A and B are shown apart, each in its own frame.
Chain A
Amino acid sequence: EDQVTQSPEALRLQEGESSSLNCSYTVSGLRGLFWYRQDPGKGPEFLFTLYSAGEEKEKERLKATLTKKESFLHITAPKPEDSATYLCAVPIDDMRFGAGTRLTVKP
């Protein structure tokens, strides 16, 4: 069965402490993997699309990478404003989302 699994469920970092979030998938014929950011009380906000293994995308302190089995969202020197839930999704059943990683960055 096609699955999208995110880990960890929650991550607490100190400001400036770099880390990575994981999104693993078991999808045959992957046609793309998407990352979103969701702030409390808001809808998800689109960040990146990755299409093929080896591809990387960057935006400010965020860098997303893709392998044949998983994607990583690397956060370099995070700031408190990076605190949010980060969601990955794949285009099956129209769009299937992972459960998300809730990131908290303490000053």
Chain B
Amino acid sequence: EAGVTQFPSHSVIEKGQTVTLRCDPISGHDNLYWYRRVMGKEIKFLLHFVKESKQDESGMPNNRFLAERTGGTYSTLKVQPAELEDSGVYFCASSQGDSGRTGELFFGEGSRLTVL
């Protein structure tokens, strides 16, 4: 069974440019999450989809970040325009049920974003 896949694995862009990260969850997982880890900090929640609907986007830092999940399958996270402080590793995770209850999240390997 394929795990959570993320693309690209690493992206280097200039400040002010746009980057789109993609996540393909495990097939059949309705819940999809985005997290990020900035340098030296702990992993922090960004948002949670249930199928195509945003269940919780309280962790999104500002309106330069836009997440979508078309058709309840893959998800994209767009950063526009990117700022230096957006650099970090963006993780996608999926779960079949409510991970807040079971904790059983399946993570991708992450997309490392470097903004110069």
Contacts and interface: CB of A to CB of B under 8 A. Distances in A.
Interface of A: 31-34, 41-46, 48-49, 87, 89, 91, 93-100
Main secondary structure of the interface of A (DSSP, over half): loop
10 contacts: A31-B100, A32-B102, A32-B103, A43-B109, A91-B100, A93-B59, A95-B35, A95-B103, A97-B42, A98-B42
B103 A49 contact: yes
Interface of B: 4, 33, 35, 41-45, 48, 56, 58-59, 91, 93, 99-110
A95 B104 contact: no
Given A43-B109, A95-B45, 20 more contacts: A31-B101, A41-B109, A41-B110, A42-B109, A43-B91, A43-B108, A44-B91, A44-B105, A45-B107, A89-B103, A93-B58, A94-B33, A94-B48, A94-B56, A94-B58, A95-B35, A96-B45, A97-B42, A97-B44, A98-B42
